């Protein structure tokens, strides 16, 4: 007589979880979507997300038990948009334990898993609920390469100091270390975060990419023939204009490459560095080659800009993943980035140019050399576009990410010791 195998009961903590979004909300949503067919899934997320989740027409959402929770307004009345988001997140994290305990009184979860926010700086109190707890994938241990950090502007240096101070505070916050070490397993998004967690005494962990892609999420892009790239060469950058996204390095590299070829740069998004970047393009004499398009109406518009370009240039100084790099590859468009942190994991020699960071002049020179190599046409790589798509969907597909996570759930739910699977 056949007996059915009970699906694992998993509670997923996803502060950020919304349909049709990128970044953290997209991670929460897509991981929940993939897990919903593999486990019995409960998702706890912000009450603020309730309307968009319940309005979704995606059938899988009806297979999930949704739990919506936010702190009382009288505690968090000051939060508006992105203002105060980190403090609000800390309060949300610290306060949801009682709600989870109530749910545990009626449901015997096999696994509790924190997925978003994907930064390790704030540990989850859910690790102390005496259930196998999975943390991540989390980033946040990525730092600017030393040679480049010395040339940051005032705003950038202040930001870097603040990040270092936050990590230092985590190490000395009472009970934080115990929570990190209580996790049955931690997924680190990059080797840099893995090292930071090891410094906190975490040993049960492995590296796992923080995000993914699905073919149906993107419009079909026409394959490109990179052996005969037309003039002018068109590059695009799609990142919030803040110092660590490295858009200034992209502008400097375009200016240097423009000494030899006809090249244009389209800058998408906005941010506090906008005026400084415009001034930089003017000062370097390429204001007519750099177009600032600002924030586009939707992701589809961003994808159209990417697909119409010869490459995405994304020299981020520290990034746990780099979703725009993956989206570019999925569209069949190669990427120029630093061989560092998340983008350095995504991009290889078959799909673009991951350049070794050095000091500022060295890094700009290497980025410019990559632009010139792209313009010259990668010899023997007529299938550049195909290779980009293949790497995106086969290596970083959402389903593959979810299967790795579920494999770890299964390891942790087995009663036998020493059954840890290495990824």
Residue 90 pLDDT greater than 80, yes or no:
yes
Residue 4 pLDDT greater than 70, yes or no:
no
What's the mean pLDDT when you consider all of the chain?
Answer: 87
Q: For the whole model, what pTM was predicted? A: 0.85
More reliable by pLDDT, 9 or 299: 9
Q: Strands (DSSP E) along 304-422, which ranges?
A: 311-314, 335-338, 352-355
Average pLDDT of the segment spanning 123-128: 91
Q: Helix crossing, 323-330 with 384-395: angle to 10°?
A: 130
Average pLDDT of the segment spanning 335-353: 94
Nearest to 12 by CA among 123, 110, 139: 110
Q: Percent of the chain beyond pLDDT 70?
A: 85
For residue 407 the two structure tokens come to: 């494999």
Q: If phi over 0 gives left and psi between -120 and 50 gives alpha, with beta otherwise, what is residue 360?
A: alpha
Average pLDDT of the segment spanning 342-356: 94
Q: How far, CA to CA in Å, does 8 sit from each of 62, 89, 111, 405, 406?
A: 18, 28, 8, 12, 9
More reliable by pLDDT, 416 or 38: 38
How far apart are the C-alpha atoms of 186 and 208, rounded to whole Å?
Answer: 9
Contact 27, 115 (CB under 8 A): yes
Q: What is the pLDDT of residues 301-329, one digit of tens each?
A: 999 999 999 999 999 998 889 999 999 99
Ordered strands of the 233-238 beta sheet: 290-294, 263-268, 233-238, 311-314, 335-338, 352-355
How far apart are the C-alpha atoms of 29 and 381, rounded to whole Å?
Answer: 36
């Amino acid at each position: 007589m056949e007996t059915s195998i009970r699906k694992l009961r998993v509670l997923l903590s996803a502060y950020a979880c919304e349909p049709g979004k990128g970044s953290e909300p997209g991670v929460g949503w897509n991981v929940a979507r993939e897990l919903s067919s593999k486990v019995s899934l409960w998702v706890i997320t912000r009450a603020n997300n309730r309307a968009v989740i319940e309005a979704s027409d995606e059938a899988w959402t009806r297979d999930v038990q949704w739990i919506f929770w936010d702190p009382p307004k009288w505690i968090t009345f000051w939060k508006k948009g992105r203002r105060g988001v980190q403090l609000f997140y800390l309060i949300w994290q610290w306060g949801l334990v009682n709600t989870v305990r109530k749910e545990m009184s009626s449901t015997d979860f096999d696994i509790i898993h924190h997925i978003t926010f994907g930064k390790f700086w704030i540990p989850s109190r859910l690790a102390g609920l005496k259930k196998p707890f999975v943390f991540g994938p989390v980033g946040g241990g990525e730092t600017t390469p030393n040679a480049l950090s010395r040339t940051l502007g005032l705003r950038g240096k202040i930001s870097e100091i603040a990040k270092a101070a936050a990590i230092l505070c985590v190490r000395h916050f009472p009970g934080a270390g115990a929570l990190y070490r209580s996790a049955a397993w931690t997924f680190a998004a990059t080797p840099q975060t893995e090292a930071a967690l090891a410094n906190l005494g975490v040993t049960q962990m492995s590296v796992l990419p923080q995000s993914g892609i699905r073919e149906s999420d993107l419009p079909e892009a026409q394959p490109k023939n990179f052996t005969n790239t037309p003039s002018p060469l068109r590059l695009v950058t799609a990142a919030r204009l803040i110092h660590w996204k490295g858009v200034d390095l992209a502008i400097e590299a375009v200016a240097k490459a423009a000494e030899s070829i006809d090249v244009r740069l389209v800058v998408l998004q906005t941010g506090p560095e906008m005026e400084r970047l415009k001034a930089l393009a003017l000062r370097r004499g390429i204001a007519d080659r750099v177009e600032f398009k600002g924030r586009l109406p939707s992701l589809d518009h961003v994808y159209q800009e990417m697909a119409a370009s010869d490459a995405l240039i994304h020299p981020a100084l520290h990034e746990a993943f780099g979703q725009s790099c993956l989206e570019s590859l999925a569209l069949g468009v190669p990427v120029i980035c630093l061989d560092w942190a998340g983008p350095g994991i995504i991009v290889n020699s078959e799909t673009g140019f991951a350049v070794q960071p050095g000091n500022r002049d060295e890094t700009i020179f290497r980025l410019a050399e990559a632009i010139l190599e792209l313009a010259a046409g990668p010899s023997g790589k007529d299938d550049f576009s195909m290779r980009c798509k293949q790497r995106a969907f086969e290596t970083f597909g959402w389903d593959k990410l979810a299967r790795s996570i579920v494999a770890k759930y299964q390891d942790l739910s087995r009663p036998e010791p020493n059954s840890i699977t290495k990824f």
